[in-house]
Amino acid sequence: MILWRTAFVLLLFALALPAGRGQSAETRPWDEIVAAAEGQTVHFNAWGGDARINAYIVWAGERLKALYGIDLVQVKLSDTGDAVSRVLAEKTAGRDSGGSIDLIWINGENFAAMKANGLLHGPWVATAPNFALVDVAGKPTTVTDFSVPTDGLEAPWGMAQFTMMVDTAYVDAPPRTAAALLDWVQANPGRFTYPQPPDFLGTTFLKQLLAMRVATPAVLADPLDEAAARSVTAPLWAYLDTLHPHLWRDGRSFPKDAGALRRLLGDGEISFAFDFNPARASAAIEAGELPDTVRTYVFDGGTIGNTHFLAVPFNAAAKEGAMVVADFLMSAEAQIRKQDPRVWGDFTVLDVAGLPAADRKAFAALPLGVATLSPEELGPVLPEPHPSWVAWLEAEWERRYVAGR
């Protein structure tokens, strides 16, 4: 049976809902929003699978309580699509206020689904004072989410870029092209694998290979046309057909997620892993999860990158508190702490060069980590495909490599 991501089903379901967002622009002065936020409890629905991220959110909650009298409660998710489903169900039931979710950590197809279904408050982001610090010009994905304009409906929170990890104890010269990777895997069977889609990192690996193999990358920015997609993705499936027999466990099974992939690398079963956080390897080395021989690199020509965001549902019970939380999380104070690899290591959305001297100095003083590439070394950022490609790629992958075996 073909698996469809929850968010993509919602995106299709959006076609049956009334057109239009159904929300109005946020026009209140920021001081008025801050005053209304005092004493509110903000239910922040965020992926809860990383202890360091959860600890960072706890710290943010302590600062928000001290600064604004806001109580921040993290609702830990395993799949952001679950929160999208909940908001959609509330809208369908006519619950237009007093919603159960105040703030969502979101991007990609989940944002596209919420925007299409009129599930978001706003536009409001331009009202937030700290949005003026964001590097919109230098980091265009801060206002475009998987090629979908954000239109002020979500606040940029952090940057991500696909980064390879390699254990230099086993590999002298890591492969920097798709062809070189295939050659290496064929010469070293069982030493490479990737998470099974629809895990987001496994799907990102498919998108990375597709971006490297497609003849005209610009076609990926357009909404998917299935007939055209079969032609566009033919080189990807031919590549995977050749790659899979040489993978870990002969390509008959795959690790379930990024954590499982890192454990295989840490245990010496494979020689490569990858992540969407360029500082993940350094943090894992410091935590003793990976050997200190692991380093990171990127493919020639660039790797896929994006921005992750914070959005307020249309019916949030604590809209004001949610907007104040998102604004604080865009502040220099919060962004500096978040980029510290000893805390999280998530790269900033801010224009560091335009910050006051003290903040620039604080960013400059952050350690990169033993295995972390500098922004210059990370190289070009390749855009994410349009969200409509995601579920189709995942379904096609399953049809080819799971359903038939």
Provide the pLDDT for residue 167.
Answer: 98
Query: How far is 12 from 37, CA to CA, in rounded Å?
Result: 35
Q: Which value, to the nearest 10 degrees, does the dihedral of the CA atoms of residues 47, 49, 54, 57 take? A: -20
Provide the pLDDT for residue 321.
Answer: 98
Q: Which CATH architecture has domain 6-158+307-367?
A: 3-Layer(aba) Sandwich (3.40)
Provide the pLDDT for residue 23.
Answer: 60
CATH level 3 topology of 163-297+384-401: D-Maltodextrin-Binding Protein; domain 2 (3.40.190)
pLDDT digits (tens, 9 = 90+) for 159-195: 999 999 999 999 999 999 999 999 999 999 999 999 9
Give the domain ranges of the chain: 6-158+307-367, 163-297+384-401
Q: What is the pLDDT along the chain (405 residues), one digit of tens a residue?
A: 333 344 444 444 444 444 444 467 899 999 999 999 999 999 999 999 888 899 999 999 999 999 999 999 999 998 898 999 999 999 999 999 999 999 999 998 899 999 999 999 999 999 999 999 999 998 999 999 988 999 999 999 999 999 999 999 999 999 999 999 999 999 999 999 999 999 989 999 999 999 999 888 889 989 999 988 999 999 999 999 999 999 999 999 999 999 999 999 999 999 999 999 999 999 899 889 999 999 999 999 999 999 999 999 999 999 999 999 999 999 999 999 999 988 998 999 999 999 999 999 999 999 988 999 988 899 888 889 998 999 899 999 999 999 766
Q: Tell me whether domains 6-158+307-367 and 163-297+384-401 share a fold.
A: yes
pLDDT digits (tens, 9 = 90+) for 60-107: 999 999 999 999 999 999 889 899 999 999 999 999 999 999 999 999
